[in-house]
């Protein structure tokens, strides 16, 4: 019952946050940074308590498919709230809040085989924490890349839409994107490094796909940063490369977990 109450409370708070952002986006209400932060913090607190109830299990953490999803969505919201204190990223809440709510709904509705990690296995837990942080940063970068892509296309066609009027200037959007990519690359390098040190046989059968896709995405992101520095890549090119790298990372993380934990285990 406690889990259900926390889930309903979190969903309600995310709904309020989404409604406020949508009304502000359309110019119907004026929301201050304090109100946005307060609603987001309350939702984040309830979301965190829900994670504690659903993930913790007698000396271990259940990091199955849906449990990992609600952890990632919590971290994405937390990172966005921190960014919102200093950067103009309010538009991202319109996608992040509903996305976080969906992960909670899926966790309540669907069941997946558990994947337990012992609480005293600090090396593996550090690797997982860095991996989740990298994935969360690149998810925000993907959302930012989509907005940047749309903004570029509409500005080139002189289409002054509601979206364009609400987004920061193009240069600011590009700077934000590359800051997210830089942070994500650092976390991803640390995640791969700790995986090589603490995870037994990183290229084992059940981890090979995830490792290969992670390395491929890292190559894409590094190439993007090099292209930015040497060729001045920006706008549509930066958006496409970012989305390509994020797609590879998503296939490595969610694709492998979906196949291994939901298809193969249930078939077994």
Q: Are 41 and 35 in contact (CB under 8 A)?
A: no
Q: How far is CA 208 from CA 8, 124, 212, in A?
A: 38, 16, 6
Q: What are the DSSP calls for 17-41, one per residue?
A: HHHHHHHHHTTSS---HHHHHHHHH
Question: Final residue of a domain: which of 119, 138, 153?
Answer: 119
Does residue 228 share a domain with residue 186? yes
Does residue 131 share a domain with residue 115? no
Does residue 94 share a domain with residue 216? no
Could you list the pLDDT tens digit for every one of the 268 residues in the chain? 578 999 999 999 999 999 999 888 887 877 777 888 899 999 999 999 999 999 987 778 888 888 889 999 999 999 999 999 888 888 899 999 999 999 999 988 887 777 888 888 888 899 999 999 999 999 999 999 999 999 998 888 777 778 778 888 889 999 999 999 999 999 999 999 998 888 776 655 566 778 888 999 999 999 999 999 999 998 899 999 999 999 999 888 776 666 555 555 544 4
Does residue 45 share a domain with residue 137? no
Q: Residue 61, SS3?
A: strand
Does residue 16 share a domain with residue 86? yes
Does residue 95 share a domain with residue 130? no
Q: Residue 237: count other Cβ atoms within 10 Å of its Cβ.
A: 15
Structural domain tally of the chain?
2
Does residue 135 share a domain with residue 81? no
Does residue 241 share a domain with residue 153? yes
Does residue 168 share a domain with residue 184? yes
Full residue range of the structural domain in which residue 249 is found: 121-268
Count Cβ atoms within 10 A of the Cβ of residue 255 and give its class: 0-12 exposed, 13-18 middle, 19 or more buried. middle
CA 17 to chain centre: 18
106 Cβ contact partners less than 8 Å away, ≥ 6 residues apart: 66, 69
pLDDT at 268: 44
Does residue 218 share a domain with residue 140? yes
Does residue 191 share a domain with residue 83? no
195 Cβ contact partners less than 8 Å away, ≥ 6 residues apart: 127, 131, 202, 211
Nearest to 11 by CA among 52, 89, 70: 70
Q: Residue 175, SS3?
A: helix
Does residue 128 share a domain with residue 104? no
């Amino acid at each position: 019952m406690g889990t259900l109450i926390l889930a309903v409370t979190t969903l309600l708070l995310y709904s309020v946050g989404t409604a406020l952002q949508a009304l502000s986006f359309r110019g119907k209400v004026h929301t201050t940074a304090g109100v946005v932060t307060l609603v987001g913090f309350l939702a984040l607190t309830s979301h965190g308590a829900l994670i504690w109830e659903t993930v913790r299990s007698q000396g271990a953490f259940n990091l199955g498919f849906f449990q990992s999803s609600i952890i990632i969505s919590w971290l994405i919201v937390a990172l966005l709230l921190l960014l919102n204190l200093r950067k103009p990223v309010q538009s991202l809440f319109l996608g992040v809040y509903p996305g976080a709510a969906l992960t909670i709904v899926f966790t309540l509705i669907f069941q997946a085989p558990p994947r337990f990690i012992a609480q005293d296995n600090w090396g593996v837990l550090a690797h997982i924490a860095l991996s989740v942080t990298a994935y969360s940063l690149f998810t925000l970068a993907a959302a930012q890349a989509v907005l940047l892509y749309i903004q570029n296309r509409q500005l080139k066609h002189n289409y002054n839409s509601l979206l364009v009027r609400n987004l920061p200037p193009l240069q600011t959007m590009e700077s934000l994107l590359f800051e997210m990519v830089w942070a994500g690359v650092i976390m991803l390098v640390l995640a791969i490094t700790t995986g090589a040190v603490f995870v037994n046989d990183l290229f084992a059968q059940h981890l090979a796909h995830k490792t290969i896709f992670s390395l491929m995405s890292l190559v894409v992101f590094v190439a993007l940063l090099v292209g930015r520095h040497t060729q001045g890549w920006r706008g549509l090119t930066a958006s496409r490369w970012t989305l390509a790298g994020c797609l590879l990372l998503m296939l490595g993380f969610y694709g492998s977990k979906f196949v291994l934990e939901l298809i193969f285990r249930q078939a077994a």
